[in-house]
Structure 1
């Protein structure tokens, strides 16, 4: 596997650059729709589930004294997606 990536690093990098360029173009062309979707009820539910899962995992593997920071980061991320 390592050998494959070493031999194809340029191709992988080019493909990643191409995908990023297409994603940026799509976002710019559909910014209003994307922003609306990110503020939807469905996005709120999905993001809450994902953020709760990640925060719970972080709290399990990090020392207990980091729990407040985990909650703070989770809250900041939650503000960026959904409507609550």
Structure 2
């Protein structure tokens, strides 16, 4: 199985109505928020807070694309 096969299967999986519903659920929103908050905190710590505004902007942008809010 090559990368093209995996990509096609992933696309089929994501088109399933049950998967789409699950990804838009409150539970998925909570999980994505928790992950994004953790990544942002780690990036902020690694940069000593120098890029906090940019990190927060990137986190907010990613949250709009991933979550349901």
TM-score by length of 1: 0.67
Q: Using the alignment, how far apart are the partners of 1:43 and 1:78 within structure 2?
A: 11
Aligned CA RMSD, in angstroms, stands at 1.8
- In the alignment, structure 2 segments of 5+ residues that lack a partner are none
- In the alignment, structure 1 segments of 5+ residues that lack a partner are 1-13
How many angstroms does 1:46 deviate by? 0.4
Runs of 4+ off more than 4 Å: none
Work out which of the two has the higher radius of gyration on C-alpha atoms and give 1 or 2.
1
Q: Which of the pair is proportionally richer in helix? A: 1
Match of 2:12 in 1: 25
Is the partner of 2:36 in helix, strand or coil? helix
Match of 1:58 in 2: 43
Contact map agreement 2:44 2:52 (CA 8 A) in 1 = yes
- How many pairs does the alignment contain? 69
Q: Using the alignment, how far apart are the partners of 2:38 and 2:44 within structure 1?
A: 10
Contact map agreement 2:14 2:20 (CA 8 A) in 1 = no
1:70 lines up with 2:19 in the alignment:
no
